[in-house]
Amino acid sequence: MFVVAQISDLHFRNSDPEQLARVDAVMRYLNDRCGGPSAIDALLVTGDLADDGLPGQYEEAAAHVITEIPTLTLLGNHDDRIAYHGGLQPVNSSLLLDGLLLLGLDSSVPGRQDGELTETTLAWASEQIEAAGDVPVLIAFHHPPIDVGMPFMDSIRQLDPSGFEAFVRRHQNIVGLVCGHIHSPSATTFAGVPLVTAPGVSSTLNLPFEGDDVLNDTQPPGIAFHFIDDTGRLTTHFRSVRLG
Judged against a pLDDT cut of 80, whether residue 230 lies above it is answered with yes
Instruction: For residue 168, give the nearest of 192, 150, 189 by alpha carbon.
Output: 192
At 114, is the pLDDT very low, low, confident or very high (cuts 50, 70, 90)? very high
Judged against a pLDDT cut of 80, whether residue 244 lies above it is answered with no
**CA contacts within 13 A on the Cβ side of 201:** 34
CATH code 3.60.21.10 for 2-240: yes
Neighbours of 216 (CB within 10 A): 16
Judged against a pLDDT cut of 80, whether residue 136 lies above it is answered with yes
Specify the pLDDT at position 196.
Answer: 98
Judged against a pLDDT cut of 90, whether residue 35 lies above it is answered with no
Instruction: For residue 180, give the nearest of 14, 54, 49, 3 by alpha carbon.
Output: 49
Specify the pLDDT at position 38.
Answer: 74
At 204, is the pLDDT very low, low, confident or very high (cuts 50, 70, 90)? very high
What is the sign of the dihedral through the CA atoms of 235, 8, 40 and 104? positive
State mean pLDDT over 210-236.
94
Specify the pLDDT at position 220.
Answer: 97
Note if the pTM is more than 0.85. Answer: yes
At 146, is the pLDDT very low, low, confident or very high (cuts 50, 70, 90)? very high
Specify the pLDDT at position 212.
Answer: 87
What is the sign of the dihedral through the CA atoms of 43, 121, 194 and 102? negative
C-alpha 23/C-alpha 19 separation (Å) is: 6
Specify the pLDDT at position 36.
Answer: 72
pLDDT tens digits, one per residue of 79-110 = 999 999 999 999 999 999 999 999 999 999 99
The residue ranges of DSSP E strands in 24-169, in sequence order, are: 42-46, 71-74, 93-97, 100-104, 137-140
Judged against a pLDDT cut of 80, whether residue 145 lies above it is answered with yes
Specify the pLDDT at position 91.
Answer: 97
